[in-house]
Amino acid sequence: MRERNKEKTSTLRMALSELKKEEIDRREEITNEDSIKILQRMIKQRKESKTQFLEAGRSELADKENEEILILQDFLPEQLSEEAIKIIVLEAISETQAKEPQDMGKVMGALKSKIKGNADMGIVSKIVKENL
C-alpha cells in the first residue's frame, strides 16, 4: 500500500522542483554529483532556518525543518564518520606537506576530490584546522 506521508511528499516535490530548476538554469542535464551538491545545499539552508526558528522560539517550525533535513539526507550517499574524515585529513596533510594554518587551502583542495559529497565540508574544515 502507498504510504501517505504529507511531509515526505511535499519535501520530495520541493527537492524535485529544485533539481529541475537547476537543470533549466544550466540548460543541460545535471549529473549525480550536481544533484548531491543541490541536496546538500538544501539541507544546509534548512539547518540555518532551524537555528533561526529555535532562536525565535518557534520550535514547531524548527521541528518541521528537522523533518525535511532527515528526509533529504535519505537521498544522499552515506556520510563519513568523523574518525574516517580525520584519517583522510591526516593523509591529505602528509601528502601536501602542510604544516601551518596558511596551508589549509592546499589541504582542502586535495580533500575535495577524495571526499566528493560524502562529508560535510564544514566538519572537514574544522578537523583540518585542528590538525594544522
Q: Are residues 51 and 102 in the same domain?
A: no
Query: Which tens digit of pLDDT belongs to each residue from 1-49?
Result: 366 788 899 999 999 999 999 999 989 898 888 898 899 899 999 999 9
| CA neighbours closer than 13 Å in the CB half-sphere of residue 130 | 12
Where in the sequence is the domain holding 54, given as residue range(s)? 6-73
pLDDT at 2: 61
Q: Are residues 126 and 106 in the same domain?
A: yes
Q: What is the CATH number of the domain that holds 55?
A: 1.10.1510.10
pLDDT at 60: 94
Q: By the 8 A CB rule, do 19 and 30 touch?
A: yes
Q: Into how many domains does the chain fold?
A: 2
Alpha-carbon Rg for the chain, nearest whole angstrom, is: 18
pLDDT at 5: 82
pLDDT at 97: 86
pLDDT at 3: 65
pLDDT at 1: 34
Give the pLDDT band (50/70/90) at residue 124: confident
The residue count of the chain comes to: 132
Unique residue bearing C-alpha cell 530548476? 21
Q: Are residues 68 and 10 in the same domain?
A: yes
51, part of any domain: yes
Query: Helix 6-26 and helix 59-73: axis angle, to 10°?
Result: 60
Q: Are residues 67 and 19 in the same domain?
A: yes
Query: Which tens digit of pLDDT belongs to each residue from 80-121?
Result: 888 888 999 888 888 888 888 888 888 888 888 888 778 878
1, part of any domain: no
Top pLDDT among 119 and 66 is at: 66
112, part of any domain: yes
